[in-house]
Amino acid sequence: MTTTPTSQLPADHPLTSGLTSESALLNQYRGSRTSAGAPASPERRPVWFMRQAGRSLPEYRELREGTSMLDSCLNPDMASEITLQPVRRHDVDAAIFFSDIVIPLRLAGVGVEIKPGVGPVLDAPVRTAADVAALPELDDAAFAPITEAIQRTTAELGSTPLIGFAGAPFTLAAYMVEGRPSRDHLGPRAMMHTDPQTWNALAAWAADVSGRFMRAQLMAGASAAQLFDSWAGSLGRADYQRHVLPHSTAALSHVSGLSGPDGVSAPLVHFGTGTSEILDLLKTAGADVVGVDYRLNLSEATRRLGPETPLQGNIDPAFLTADWSVLEAHVREVIAAGSGAAGHVLNLGHGVPPETDPAVLTRVVELIHSIDP
């Protein structure tokens, strides 16, 4: 194999064109743009969609028929196939590993199920010091189906990067304290003040399983990882900083500096909804890239985070049903707003709504790829 640096190859050389297309996403995650805001080399503008693997795709609904959510996540064949489906259909620039936030709980032996139309429901909520002390240890051997699914997926993906996935400690702990989804997350938020020792023990447990879940995915071949803190937006800044940030930092420390398949350290993305007021803290936790939800203009995100911080986001899913001209204008606005950051990977500013027409997502990808970077 030649060791000629790709920058010295002619632009139409297969290796060059392959690399500039295939590593575009990782380059953006690594902040490869020049200081002028232009990319270092002409690459495809990268995009993927949170929840791209899932309910909006008929092929997903067909495959999942008769299999529970968590069982499908732990079946390497199914998890791999579901991860690949949107890459084939939409030509997105990354796969996101199909899994669920509560999978590390299930792997540790915590009784949990996803109830259709409800969400994660635990056999018993975790509310006391004794409940937390009784939480099982997660054995690394339990990650076997994850490792197998990741390996099958990366083998089929070729050079398209696979992004690993885990729920952040607060979000995990929120489900554990409430025992089910809730609107206000008052249970975990109250525990921080009512019994901070138990809160810290619980969040530390969640950080450990979350971090090791991401680590298992990277060790098996994922190229990047995203920590999802779905409910962090329910916290004020002081509470996040004092009671959550240390645990999210601990979760990310499990994967910090870990090399991806390309031999360079795998970029880490941190995302939560309603987190405009704590974006800087999401980065402080140890993230390379900050995911921005649909509420905040990306130029304002760059003002808050500094131009050196690569961003991910933030097409508003509320535009996916609009006239194409309205949606196109919105996508172009998002691209313009993100142009001040050292890197920008297009994404939605929230997950794909289940009722989304997949053809619209495909067209959005085509549009993004058609716009010169």
Give the nearest distance from C-beta 25 to its own copies in angstroms: 25
Nearest to 98 by CA among 152, 35, 44, 32: 152
Q: Is there binding between residue 277 and its own copies (CB under 8 A)?
A: yes
Ligand-binding site membership of 149 (annotated): no
The nearest distance, CB 279 to its own copies, in angstroms, is 11
> Is 303 one of the annotated binding-site residues?
no
Single out the segment in contact with its own copies by CB under 8 A; choices: 9-17, 251-259, 262-270, 314-322: 314-322
363 is known to lie in a ligand binding site: no
Kindly state whether residue 190 participates in binding its own copies, applying the rule CB under 8 A: yes
The residues, ordered by sequence, that sit 6+ positions from 206 with a Cβ below 8 Å of its Cβ are 169, 170, 172, 173, 176, 247, 251
Pull the structure tokens for residue 308.
């050196």
Centroid of chain to Cα 9: 34
- Cis peptide, bond prior to residue 314, ω within 30 of zero: yes
Calpha distance 259→146 (Å, rounded) = 18
**Distance from C-alpha of 115 to C-alpha of 46, rounded to nearest angstrom:** 34
Nearer to its own copies, 218 or 367 (CB): 367
Rounded to whole angstroms, the Cα distance separating 230 from 174 reads 10
**Interface pick for its own copies out of 109, 236, 303, 357 (rule CB under 8 A):** 236
Q: Is 55 annotated as ligand-binding?
A: yes
User: Nearest distance from residue 11's CB to its own copies, in Å?
Assistant: 39
Question: From the CB of 162, what's the least distance to its own copies, in Å?
Answer: 27
Largest pairwise CA distance in the chain: 65
Nearer to its own copies, 197 or 259 (CB): 197
Q: Is residue 125 involved in binding its own copies (CB under 8 A)?
A: no
- 55 catalytic per annotation: yes
- Binding status of residue 134 toward its own copies by CB under 8 A: no
Tell me the number of residues near its own copies by CB under 8 A: 35
85, 356 contact by CB (below 8 A) = no
Pairing, β 112-115 against β 119-122: antiparallel
Closest to 360 (Cα-Cα) out of 303, 309, 320, 316: 320
Query: Which residues make Cβ contacts (< 8 Å) with residue 7, sequence separation at least 6?
Result: 41
295 carries a ligand binding annotation: no
Question: For this structure, is 89 an active site residue?
Answer: no
Residue closer to its own copies by CB (options 117, 263) is 117
Annotated catalytic, 189? no
Is 175 one of the annotated binding-site residues? yes
* Helix, coil or strand: residue 225: strand
Residue nearer to its own copies on the CB measure, 262 or 328:
328
Within 288-307, which residues bind its own copies (CB under 8 A)? Answer: 294-297
51 in active site: yes
DSSP characters for 268-302?
Answer: EEEE-TT-GGGHHHHHHTT-SEEE--TTS-HHHHH
List residues forming the annotated binding site for substrate. 51-55, 100, 175, 230, 350
Under the rule (CB under 8 A), what is the footprint of its own copies? 183-184, 186, 189-190, 192-194, 233-239, 274, 276-277, 294-297, 316-323, 326-327, 330, 350, 353
Positions annotated as catalytic residues are 51, 55, 64, 100, 175
